[in-house]
Amino acid sequence: MNKKVDQAGRFLRYSVPIHLINLITAILPNCTPTVAIRGFLMRPFFKKCGKGFRIASGVIINNPERIEIGDNVYIAHNNWINGVGGLRIDANVRIGPMSVIVTSQHAFENGKMTSGYIPAPVRIHAGCWIASKAVITDGVEIGADSLVAAGAVVTKSFPAQSKIGGVPAKLIGKPGDA
């Protein structure tokens, strides 16, 4: 099958419905039923998506056909999430407003940016809390029950039960520390 046709088919099957659900549900006020309804409607348009998915308004989702989401995941307003390099978000993860998850980066040759991309998958294990305005970059794996502090830019992987903060992000303790 022609690659362009295949790409267009995936776009119509996954990305367009998510866009339309975002447009239509934008008229609903922000509350528990709204985020549950939006999540329920979007579920069929990811590679996989578990039960109890909740998502607030204004989230940009690129390449949802490469994104796997576990049960009871919550994503807050205005996140920007790109699944192009492969993304897995496990059960009970919560992501705060205005966070960014990228799964690729622009390629460079001889100090010049090319038109190419280098993809690298991201995995966020179960029970993590990604606080507001964090960035998770390509190739990163965050262990279970970790806390990514507000505004952190995570450029490398961390083990389970890490509390991570700063730009670039470092280990700063355990979740639940005062």
Interface contacts to its own copies, rule CB under 8 A: 11, 15-16, 19-20, 23, 26-27, 29-31, 56-58, 60, 62, 76-78, 80, 92, 94, 96-98, 100, 102, 106, 108-113, 127, 129, 132-133, 135, 137, 145, 147, 149-153, 155, 161, 165-168, 174-176
Nearer to its own copies, 49 or 152 (CB): 152
Query: Is the Cβ of residue 1 or residue 111 nearer to its own copies in the bound state?
Result: 111
Q: Which is nearer to its own copies, 39 or 165 (CB)?
A: 165
Numbers of helices and strands, H then E, in the chain: 3, 19
Nearest approach, Cβ of residue 48 and its own copies (Å): 21
Task: Supply φ then ψ for residue 48, to 5 degrees.
Answer: -145, 145
Using alpha carbons, select from 73, 68, 67 the residue that is nearest to residue 54.
73
Question: Both tokens of residue 22?
Answer: 């975002």
Q: How far apart, in whole angstroms, are the C-alpha atoms of residue 32 and residue 178?
A: 29
CB nearer to its own copies: pick between 55 and 56: 56
CB 31 within 8 A of CB 70: no
Enumerate the β-bridge partners of residue 54.
74
Q: CB nearer to its own copies: give 1 or 29.
A: 29
CB contact set of 83 (below 8 Å; sequence gap of 6+): 47, 61, 62, 63, 64, 65, 66, 67, 103
Give least dist CB 43 to its own copies, A.
18
> Rounded CA gap, 122 and 83, in Å?
9
Q: Tokens 């998770």 sit at which residue?
A: 136
